[in-house]
A = this chain, B = another copy of it.
């Protein structure tokens, strides 16, 4: 068995089932190995950012890594932005990157470059030394990706390590067990916050599962603490029947205001909150000066278990009643962020996976989402735009029985619109809603925040996507996805219902 087959077999034996691929010449043995072995699905992306974003969406939904198969340094580079998002989401992803044959590296052929230097900023990296270690290296990469917490793991595999004979089977990798709850520490925390002025639990990471939300709600309902959600979350369960908490605002002055007066900030999966960007005279840290910051549980730990134990210590009701807002009604009249958001929340089906890269338009949807039917939301964790369409693609591969909604800002969507083709090829049940405000609206806001009240013509041109207007319906058609343009809430509702009634991908361009 050659090295490439050993790698794919090791991966399938570890439970890896999907490879999002855009290979080249230095990956040909791995391509052949996909056919020579059984159990690995190959999904082609026609741009690498599609592959990596799909692996991110897949990993968020399954908790297991997908492979990506990418071509040398430049091919990998095209996937880095979405790997940055995966890194911040702590998603397990395993990248296989072919490299020049080991004996050919010194020749510095045109496509040769320092791949490891490109890969280190997104996570764990191993440069495979030869076919003798490909099994071990693959097993270690998969284990590294799984964490907990999850991470991006990259194997750089010279072509000769793929085509040469591999002898050694992989080492057996045991998954580390989560540490038991530290009752002493939880007891001390309970004493510290009992009866304190303003206790805020900041919930994040895998704490945003149903069990984590319910455990946090015990604290909130009993008055032990307020609960807030980290600003950008990898995955959260939302909708009727689930607790709904406010999110820590994006802009630092709003976030500071939301946290003002906090005497105890309890981190449950969330990191210590910091500003997304620094501004002149701004600050990095958002926790109020003088507040005590406590870490209840780190990302990847048993956040729900820790919260439940804390709630027990504080004597919180084990089964508090939920007061759910009524499901929103579809809006009428012209489309704007609010009418679009309300109508989407009203119509999104039960069990939907909503990938939220709606940027400024998404803020108007957020207040309605908690009362929508139960669903899962995947967010933009790393701020690297172009995540939504690929992530939706991967989520749909992971969960073929669940409808997927890509709620997508137009400017961001342009980065990786090639994902539509993979959706069409695989006939994925994805409804893409393009929020067509024809601008980088967030940058227009940021220009104003930077004190540029009246941007000059160049600044205006760099934040404006008219001239020419982009036709998303034509883009969808180009890639084999039926597309519709709508200008009213009623037309959006009709188009959305139609998309839900048919299998396969659809795109709705919502003119705002």
A interface residues with partner B (beta carbon < 8 Å): 21, 23-26, 28-29, 31-32, 34-36, 40, 42, 44, 46-47, 49, 72-75, 77-78, 80-81, 84-85, 88, 100-101, 103-104, 106-111, 113-115, 117-118, 120-122, 159-160, 163, 232, 274-280, 282, 284-285, 381-384, 386, 411, 414-415, 417-418, 421, 424-425, 442-443, 446-447, 450, 452, 455-459, 461-462, 465, 467-475, 477-480
Contacts and interface: CB of A to CB of B under 8 A. Distances in A.
A77 B81 contact: yes
B159 A23 contact: no
A382 B77 CA distance: 14
Contacts of A475: 474-475, 478-479
Contact of A114 (B121, B282, B457): B121
The residue in A21, A111, A159, A457 that gathers the most chain B C-beta atoms within 10 A of its C-beta is A111
B35 A456 contact: yes
Nearest to A414: B46
**Interface hub of A159, A276, A381 (most chain B Cβ within 10 A):** A276
A290 B420 CA distance: 54
8 contacts: A35-B459, A42-B461, A42-B462, A111-B384, A160-B280, A163-B450, A415-B418, A425-B468
A456 B32 contact: yes
A278 B101 contact: yes
A437 B445 CA distance: 44
A414 B425 contact: no
B462 A47 contact: no
Contacts of A278: 100-101, 103-104, 107, 109, 159-160
A443 B277 CA distance: 43
Nearest to A120: B117
Nearest to A448: B28
Contact of A277 (B26, B40, B384, B421): B26
B107 A381 contact: no
Given A72-B383, A107-B285, 7 more contacts: A44-B462, A74-B382, A78-B415, A104-B278, A111-B277, A113-B121, A472-B478
B468 A421 contact: yes
A25 B446 contact: yes
Most interface-central of A23, A26, A121, A275 (chain B CB within 10 A):
A121
Contacts of A104: 274-275, 277-278, 282, 284
Contacts of A417: 418
B480 A443 contact: no
A74 B84 contact: yes
Contacts of A462: 21, 23, 31, 34, 42, 44
B382 A108 contact: no
Contact of A34 (B72, B100, B458, B478): B458
Given A275-B107, A276-B109, A478-B471, A28 B159 contact: no
Contacts of A384: 74-75, 111
A42 B456 CA distance: 12
> Which 10 residue pairs are nearest across A and B when measured between Cβ atoms?
A35-B456, A468-B480, A104-B278, A101-B278, A74-B384, A77-B80, A474-B478, A107-B284, A475-B478, A74-B81
B25 A74 contact: no
Nearest to A85: B74
Contacts of A386: 47, 78
Contacts of A32: 447, 450, 452, 455-456, 459
A35 to B, nearest CB: 3
Q: Most chain-B Cβ atoms within 10 A of its Cβ — which of A24, A42, A110, A418?
A: A110
Contacts of A122: 113
